Amino acid sequence: MAKITLNLPESLKGVRFTKEERKRMELGILPDAAEKLAIKLAEKKFGQKFYPMPYNFKGWDIISKDGLIKIEVKQTSCLGTKTYLSINAVWSKKDYCTHVMIIDFYNTTLSASCIENNLFFSSNFHGKSKLWRWNKDYNRNSQPINTVLFIDNKINLN
């Protein structure tokens, strides 16, 4: 696992953080790390330069140099249930982005998928918050529509 060293304010010198607090800090870094990785993956997939949007930009997270490809980046690092991984807060991006890129930080083998908007938003969403779930083991028989969609749109990471 990659290591990041944080420079905390001098006023926190001597403050001890519990294991749970350190874990929460690590999890807080993952969305930004996912966007950085997504730029690299998108450039490889689409063959052009990509740039991040300003923090909390409404609509998408990264954009192609030509402005035609707008990707919302989501990551998961924990289980949504015992058998599913999930992403949230994506339904509001439906009419803004051209693709949704999902990065799986939960499994030890990195997986990422880049799904076109029309395919992604016509798949299965759950509950009022419209969670998007897929099988944590990539079993095609469990949550088949979303799991197969993730698998069929996987990005070659080599």
Which residue has tokens 């969670």? 131
C-beta separation of 80 from 51 below 8 A: no
Q: For the whole model, what pTM was predicted?
A: 0.89
The dihedral over CA atoms of 136, 127, 59, 38, expressed in degrees to the nearest 10, equals 0
Weakly modelled stretches of the chain, pLDDT under 70 = 1
**Where do the domains of the chain lie, and which CATH numbers do they carry?**
18-152 (3.40.1350)
CA atoms within 13 A on the CB side of 38: 31
Encode pLDDT of 130-157 as tens digits: 999 999 999 988 889 999 999 999 998 7
Q: Assign residue 38 a region: left if phi > 0, alpha if psi is -120 to 50, beta otherwise?
A: alpha
